[in-house]
Amino acid sequence: MAERFKLESYSGPRSRFTCPSCGKNREFTRYIDLETGQYIAEHVGICNRRVNCGYHLSPAEFLRSAHTQKNAQISTPLRAQQRPELPKMLIPANLFLKSINHKHYAKNNLFEYLRNVVGLRNALSCARAYHLGTSKRWPGATIFWQVDATGAIFYGKLMCYDAKTGKRDKTKFDSAHSVLRKSGQRTAHIRQILFGEHLLSIPTPRAVAVVESEKTAMISSCYLPEITWLACGSISNLTAERMEPLRSRQVVLYPDLGAFSKWAEKAEAFQRIGFNVHVSDILEKASFVSNDDRIRGFDLADYLPRTGKPPYNEALDILLDKYPPLQELVIRVDLA
């Protein structure tokens, strides 16, 4: 069978695009459908920064995720543990790509908080790894994109945080689907997955940790990078369907204070259907946890920053704090 798809040959700067993963301009090569002469989706291709980024979504993976392999003449068998079907329409790639552009980080309150807590370089690395988005829905608003291991974009959760305290404004919540509907665009049935699931595509197998808050997953990944940190958003979202991609992994659940028993029940239920999962009681038994902490439902993100900034290049971060104009330079030239 003749090859149907190929990477576009270089014909000048216009034949290279912005990488959907690292945000670098003119570094992304897209696939072309030789039968039509057209590009596939905007996020189907490979980043030329193979060491510093490594993003690659092949046509086979994209078509499988969209359930169009019957018409694509590509033989790519579904894994037994793969979800049975995907929504008829996922989030448009252009909306996703526009939101994750690092040029918007200065307007993102959560990114500003991360910068203060873990340092600029760690914040940049973390934001790119988790596809942190910025929204105009409210000043400083954040988008938590839910992307699977094939690059399919399922859902975008819009939230707003205080740039200094990192606390969430619980009066502000929306979704990318809602924004699309308000603009008159057709949307599919909403189906959510675990935040950070795309990180499971990293070749090196790692232990997996699941927390409730997306912010907590991001902060924890800076302090404990040897673990893949995911978030469920709420305990009601911690379902067998959303946990399915973790069936072959070692999984540890890290509940907020006061929620241990509920998460333990979840862990036992997952164990009964074959998952290798248990729940951590590290916060429940910690001597430094106060009664007030328990009442407020603190989690790992409330304690890890107390140990100081995680390692990276503290000398550079001190310099950047002293000379703020240099921060934009670091973001633009990708010193991170």
pLDDT at residue 158 is higher than 90: yes
Q: Which is more confident, 41 or 298? A: 298
34, 6 in Cβ contact below 8 A? yes
Q: Which of 26-30, 106-110, 133-137, 309-313 has the lowest mean pLDDT?
A: 309-313
Range from 16-25, 44-53, 285-294, 312-321 carrying the lowest mean pLDDT: 312-321
Handedness of CA 74, 54, 249, 236 (dihedral sign): negative
Give the predicted TM-score (pTM) of the model. 0.69
In sequence order, the 6+-apart residues with CB closer than 8 A to the CB of 38 are 32
Q: Say how far apart CA 236 and CA 221 lie, in whole Å.
A: 23
Contact between 47 and 55 under an 8 Å Cβ cutoff? The reply is yes
Tally of CB atoms within 10 A around 184: 6
Residue 68 has pLDDT above 50, yes or no: no
Structure token pair of residue 193 = 């997955």
Residue 267 backbone dihedrals phi, psi, to 5 degrees: -60, -45
100-155 pLDDT, tens digit per residue, is 988 899 999 999 999 999 988 899 989 999 999 999 999 999 999 999 888 888 88
Mean pLDDT lowest among 27-36, 68-77, 272-281:
68-77
DSSP-assigned letter for residue 210? E
3 state DSSP class of 125? helix
Q: Apex CA 331: angle with CA 329 and CA 333, to 5°?
A: 65
pLDDT at 98 over 60: yes
- Rounded to 10 deg, the angle between the 214-223 and 109-118 helix axes is 30
